[in-house]
């Protein structure tokens, strides 16, 4: 286990190549089996990562930028929240719908209506799976999977859920094949199919159907659950600390005003809001033990010889909660990211997306989403809770591979002038 930012950086950045392998997560290994961009290793991983980064960077395929897609989705969400007319809501559905739709837009070339039954089923499968993977029983399975795999348990439900999602992706791929125009790719799947066709004579090509399905599944999992869950934590924190919400509203009113759409250029002029988003991610600590790495060759590290194939866990929690870098790590405090003049300050221990060659593929999209969704919602709404701030409990519902915030109710109340 790598504890503390110094050890994590030394391994994942200074000895990046040696630590760039991907370890296994027992509960999802029977599904992925080393395929797809997140769980691949070696040349397969390099080829899929290069392709995925380039394709997502080129979005939206010369038409709409990712920023525009997020702005549009944020407006769709605002309309949905208006329709609630201030009634109590569990925000899970809304936050996961909008983050899933960004991935749908990039991968499938379309967004889904929030009432679409197929979309609702997909969201339910992702949410359920992330919760199960983060559960205590999955941690036990991680330790004793060679024995427990023969018995019923959460691992079987996770397998069933992910296979159902894969079947959905498979059907989408077939539809894309029927409508594919090689001169005008519309989305990630189209670009992949064109590449697959180009390399079909090469038996060693990594661009085949299986990697397409598992890469798509990886992008969905990484892109929906993490950002949606961060927003759920974020709004729970706003309910607990109303003075923070007031300062954000003030900054939004000064910089953006009530009518213009928030855009990424606003971020540089909104240090307090940006600091709150950073602190939401730090405090939420979504992947406390990181995703396992594996050393690709016998490696000397801090006087130890680590044999090739050894799994290594970068404990992100140890960096995000390090008192040497964050004055009061157990408290939610946006000042962790503000200097004496109120400007945003960088903190090298802030690594919610990990670091090095395996840094989260969707980091830039996730950062865009968090800023634009957060500011657009708060430009249009104030928030209220049926529970007094001092009684709001922040204890995670599950804490394993991932941390799942507690279930809570929130009111979105339209602000005047919006």
**Residue list for the binding site:** 360
Residues with Cβ < 8 Å from 249, sequence gap 6 or more?
378, 382, 415
Task: Give the residue among 187, 46, 168, 31 at the shortest CA–CA distance from 105.
Answer: 187
Cβ atoms within 10 Å of 43's Cβ, excluding its own: 10
Cα dihedral: 142, 147, 151, 156 (round 10): 30
Mapped onto helix, strand or coil, the DSSP state of residue 340 is: coil
End-to-end Cα separation, the chain, in angstroms: 50
CB 237 within 8 A of CB 216: no
CB 101 within 8 A of CB 95: no
Annotated binding site for heme: 360
What DSSP assignment string belongs to 242-302? HHHHHHHHHHHHHHTTTTSPP-GGGGGG-HHHHHHHHHHHHHH-SSTT---EE-SS-EEET
Measured between alpha carbons, how far is 104 from 189 in angstroms, rounded to an integer?
11
Measured between alpha carbons, how far is 358 from 46 in angstroms, rounded to an integer?
10
CB 237 within 8 A of CB 394: yes
CB 192 within 8 A of CB 175: no
CB 81 within 8 A of CB 87: no
CB 364 within 8 A of CB 56: no
Mapped onto helix, strand or coil, the DSSP state of residue 139 is: helix
Looking up tokens 């709409």 gives 64
What DSSP assignment string belongs to 67-104? HHHHHHHHHHHHHHHHHTTT--B-THHHHHHHHHHHHH
Two structure tokens written together for 132 = 């199960």
Looking up tokens 């000064």 gives 254
């Amino acid at each position: 286990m790598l504890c503390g930012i110094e050890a994590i950086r030394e391994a994942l950045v200074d000895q990046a190549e040696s630590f760039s392998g991907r370890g296994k997560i027992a509960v999802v290994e029977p599904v992925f089996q080393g395929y797809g961009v997140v769980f691949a290793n070696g040349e397969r991983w390099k080829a899929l990562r290069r392709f995925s980064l380039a394709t997502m960077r080129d979005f939206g395929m010369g038409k709409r930028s990712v920023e525009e897609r997020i702005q549009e989705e944020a407006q769709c969400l605002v309309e949905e929240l208006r329709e609630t007319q201030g009634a109590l809501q569990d925000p899970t559905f809304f936050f996961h719908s909008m983050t899933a739709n960004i991935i749908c837009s990039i991968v499938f070339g379309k967004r889904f209506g929030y009432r679409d039954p197929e979309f609702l089923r997909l969201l339910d499968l992702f949410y359920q799976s992330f919760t199960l993977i983060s559960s205590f029983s999955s941690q036990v399975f991680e330790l004793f999977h060679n024995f427990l795999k023969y018995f019923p348990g959460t691992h079987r439900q996770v397998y069933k859920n992910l296979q159902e999602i894969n079947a959905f992706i498979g059907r989408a791929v077939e539809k894309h094949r029927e409508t594919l125009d090689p001169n005008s790719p519309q989305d990630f799947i189209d670009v992949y199919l064109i590449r697959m066709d180009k390399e079909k004579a090469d038996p060693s090509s990594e661009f085949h159907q299986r990697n397409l399905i598992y890469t798509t599944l990886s992008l969905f999992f990484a892109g929906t659950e993490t950002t949606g869950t961060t927003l759920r934590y974020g709004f729970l924190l706003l309910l607990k600390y109303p003075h923070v919400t007031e300062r954000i509203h003030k900054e939004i009113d000064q910089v953006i005003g009530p009518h213009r759409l928030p855009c990424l250029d606003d971020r540089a002029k909104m240090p307090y809001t940006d600091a709150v988003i950073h602190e939401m991610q730090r405090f939420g600590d979504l992947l406390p033990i990181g995703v396992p790495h594996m050393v690709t060759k016998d490696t000397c590290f801090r006087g130890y010889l680590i044999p090739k194939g050894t799994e290594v866990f970068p404990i992100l929690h140890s960096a995000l909660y390090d008192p040497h870098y964050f004055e009061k790590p157990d408290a939610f405090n946006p000042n962790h990211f503000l200097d004496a003049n109120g400007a945003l300050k960088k903190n090298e221990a802030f690594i919610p997306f990990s670091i090095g060659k395996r840094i989260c593929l969707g980091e830039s999209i996730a950062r865009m989403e968090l800023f634009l969704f957060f500011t657009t919602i708060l430009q249009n709404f104030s928030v209220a809770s049926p529970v007094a701030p001092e009684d709001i409990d922040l204890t995670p519902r599950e804490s394993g591979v991932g941390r799942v915030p507690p279930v809570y109710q929130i009111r979105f109340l339209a602000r005047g002038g919006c």
